Amino acid sequence: MPSEPVLCSVADGVALVTLNNPPLNLVTLEMTRQLNELVARLAADEAVRVMVLTGSGSKAFCAGSDIKEFTRMMAPGVVVPQKLALENEAYSRVDDFPKPTIAALNGLAFGGGLELAVCCDLIVAEEGSRVALPEINLGIFPGSGGPVRVTRRIGEGRAKEMMFFGEPVQVETALAWGLVNRVVPAGEARAVALAMARTLAGKPAVGLAACKAAVDMAFDRPGEEAVQASLRLSQRAFESADCREGVRAFFAKEPPRFTHR
């Protein structure tokens, strides 16, 4: 495995995070630890306004866990403290990232790879790629949030079908289901995701954060509670410097120059 299983670069407000264990970018314990620490730092970095997550090479975004690590996980009471607790912490940190996130699927996304991708707000996938939750074929099931996050995107019936049969799904079908947002030509997922990210990096930070929080609350809170919480988000957005700039630019008929604070 490469000495740096997770790579990161930041430019123009966009953090590009790359899973670096080619050709399949399998998830190991060390990769999980590094991803968890990196995402925490990026969340607190004011220079980062959008995060893009992708994989090294052209074969896979991430094909899931390194099954070689499973042999020591099958004893009673071992897998959660030694693997899944940290994995769920890292994946939830991506899901809870306070700024927009985009997954660029440059190949297949299986198992934990798909579970990680659906932690992102948006997913861009290359033509010919496939997604799957094949854990059932190992006698287990998706243990890092997939049953919740995939179901939220595509509904109960399709999520159960993916998990029950464990069969790969073409990204063109995943697009029709709403599992991914865009399908692009092979080799272009990273470039398209970065272009989207740069566009988002120019949007007002408070407004984007409010959009993300309000949508997430639709799943996490009762309806009326979510509506009331969204009013507090609106109050904050209306009081922001970016709102003042957006209104000024509207009447001046010129592009806004947001401060992103």
Give the CA distances from residue 147 to residues 106, 163, 228, in Å, rounded to whole numbers and listed in that order.
23, 8, 28
Concerning whether 126 is annotated as a catalytic residue, the answer is: no
Give the CA distances from residue 229 to residues 93, 94, 100, 166, 233, in Å, rounded to whole numbers and listed in that order.
22, 22, 20, 38, 7
Distance CA 65, CA 113 (A): 8
Out of 46, 89, 126, 135, which one is annotated catalytic?
A: 135
Q: 169-170 and 130-132: which strand pairing?
A: antiparallel
CB atoms near residue 48 (< 10 Å): 18
Out of 30, 115, 224, 239, which one is annotated catalytic?
A: 115
Give the CA distances from residue 18 to residues 4, 56, 123, 231, in Å, rounded to whole numbers and listed in that order.
10, 6, 15, 36
Concerning whether 115 is annotated as a catalytic residue, the answer is: yes
Radius of gyration of the chain (CA): 19
Q: Which residues are within 8 A (CB) of 181 and not within 5 positions of it... i.e. 6 or more apart?
A: 122, 123, 124, 175
- Hey, which residues are catalytic here? 115, 135
